[in-house]
Structure 1
Amino acid sequence: MNATLYLSTVLIWGTTWIAIHWQLGDVPVLASVFYRFAIAAALLLPLLYLSGRVQATNRRDHGFMVLQGICLFSMNFVCFYTAGLTVTSGLMSVIFSAATLFNAFNSRLIWGERPAPVVFVAGGLGIAGLVLMFWPELSKGSADLKGILLATLGTYLFSLGNMVSLRHSKKGLKPITSNAYAMIYGSLVLAALLAITGTPLAWDSEPRYIGSLLYLSVIGTIVGFTAYLSLVARIGANKAAYATVMFPVVALTLSTWFEGYQWTIASVAGLVLVLAGNALMLGLRWPDLLRPRTAKVTES
């Protein structure tokens, strides 16, 4: 089950980078991000109620779900989409892979969990491999500093959202329920920002925009986040976040098909390092990875 969740997360989120790229254009960033999560929220919560799968929640749960909505379903993606205007999707995926290190840091800071050394070794191999794979972009020195900082901030917010999801897991709250409410709160945050900034709800009728929006809303958000946060609940944020190192491999494969990416000796060597880190995290530690974590409830 954990292996299925892991592979699903890698394949789904590895394909969302190009879909996000197709969202950038005539429609303002705030509007595109709002459409994405408003559609996801409008679909998920009603479906859960109709199927009787919504768990009981209290006011404190909803307070944390508001925080989750800010970190995972609004502000982090405002950062990513805005960064995408000046930073290539490849470089953004490299930055996003730092989630492995952010999760290790935040797990220690917030939950007092000491990451296993394999997390840092595998993460280091993966990030080194990604640097080699995207070295031509990195070496040009033309990347926008503001875009890089926004992508880094978005990644850190994503990590904080992982910590909130861990809190839900410790309370016995399943990701499907917390996600449904958090998407609503995230959408409300985005609606407030649209009103405050006076951003128009522009629309793009091009099939590529509409198709990528629906893909991001249903597959990338509802299915992808449910798979990933279920993985966080089962094996912990540190191990689950290593999936972010594999996203660029999928993104690069798509770039080869759609954008004519040229493979080099450095990029092949980088791919080998990424796969080695993945084998270290998943292969050599496979018994630990497949063993569900037992979380203690630490707050009420």
Structure 2
Amino acid sequence: MNNTMLYLLTVVIWGSTWIAINYQLGDVAVEASVAYRFALASLTLFAFAMIKKMPLRYTLKQHGLFALFGTCLFGLNYLLLYNAQQHINSALTCIGFSTLMLINIVNTRIFYKTKITEQVYYGGACGLAGIVILFWPQLNDVQLGAATLLGLALCIAGTCSASVGTMVSIRNQKNNIAVVPANAWGMFYGTVFMVIVALIQGKSFTFSFTTEYIASLVYLSIFGSVIAFGCYLSLMTRIGAHKTSYANIIFPGVAVVISTFVEGFVWSEFTVAGLILMVVGNLIVLAKPRKSRKSKTIAATA
């Protein structure tokens, strides 16, 4: 699958998962629902790997990386973000998580010495400005207090956890470990982490047998986890974590478009301006870097 298709699948699927998540909230504890989601996703990936005869046996050191990867990206990340939304609205959570691109830029520079072009910074700034403008009407109601600061801190901590997980995923792929078995083990360890957290908190593992809950769980597991994370993490090594991370800025825009048809969301000038800036930033980030005049001169004289 080419990079464009991987990117589009990631953005479209994650832009639609918020609808499914709404059906997960209710009688079942959040920790239990997240555990169910990644348990089903993990089982699906293990079954696929077995059918394709992919290697599933790894060394203790590799399992240590899988555990770190899964705990950070599929466990702690979700735990912190869900708790953040108990103190701040979804708009602030969305904006906070969008800083993942900036955090990934820093981490790829630290861990992998990745050089970042100027256009990535310009495009990222444009996209972040767009997402702030998009949610500006909701931000007007925010009161900066202890609860808001706590929510933002939890959100940024969850985002940092997600970034660490993606850095470990890149390391796994550089060690020639395929995405499917790595994700299968990672989601397994993420599930174990969420089960332990739920037990410590005294949460019960109830289940809702409604059509809405089961359908949304299947969608989040297969599309939101197996397919979207597979595409996203594959892109990490293909086009770089900094470019791939822009998907986290663009998918809230996709969610707004979907909400227009599903929930009758009414657009405003903030919606239009925000989406335009997000799309422009996306084009800048993903465009091929221009050669400098100096390099052109050298190439011409060579």
Normalised by the size of structure 2, how large is the TM-score?
0.89
Hey, what does 2:9 align to over in structure 1?
A: 8
Q: Which residue of 1 aligns with 2:113?
A: 112
Paired residue type of 1:120: Y
**1:245 aligned residue (249, 256, 261):** 249
* Amino acid across the alignment from 1:220: G
3-state SS in 2 of match to 1:18: helix
User: Judging changes above 3 Å, is the alpha-carbon distance between structure 1 residues 100 and 280 closer, same or farther for their aligned structure 2 residues?
Assistant: same
Distance in 2 (CA, whole Å) between partners of 1:150 and 1:251 is 23
1:69 Cα deviation from its structure 2 partner: 0.7
Give distance in 2, aligned partners of 1:267 and 1:91.
Answer: 16
Aligned to 2:41: 40
The answer to whether the 8 Å contact 1:24/1:85 transfers is no
Measured after TM superposition, the shift of residue 57 of structure 1 is 2.8
Q: Give the structure 2 partner of residue 171 of structure 1.
A: 175
Could you tell me how far 1:95 is from its partner in structure 2?
2.1
Moved more, 277-286 or 115-124: 277-286
Deviation, 1:55, is 5.6
Contact 1:90 / 1:248 at 8 angstroms: preserved in 2?
no
Determine if contact 2:243/2:285 at 8 Å carries over to the other structure.
Answer: yes
Alignment of 1:1-300 (within 5 A): 1-54=2-55, 57-142=58-143, 145=148, 146-285=150-289
From the superposition, tell whether residues 63 and 193 of structure 1 become closer, same or farther in structure 2 (CA, over 3 Å). Answer: same
How many residues align? The count is 287
Distance in 2, matches of 1:182 and 1:125, equals 33
For 1:239, the aligned partner's letter is: K
Cα displacement (A) at 1:279: 1.0
Unmatched segments (≥5 aa) in structure 1: 288-300
Whether the 8 Å contact between 2:117 and 2:289 is mirrored in structure 1 is no
Please say which structure displays the higher CA radius of gyration: 2
Relative distance call for 1:201 and 1:9 in structure 2 (3 A) is same
Quote the sequence identity (%): 39
SS of structure 2 residue aligned to 1:199: coil
Contact 1:18 1:89 in 2 (8 A): no
Q: Gaps spanning 5+ residues in structure 2: where?
A: 292-302
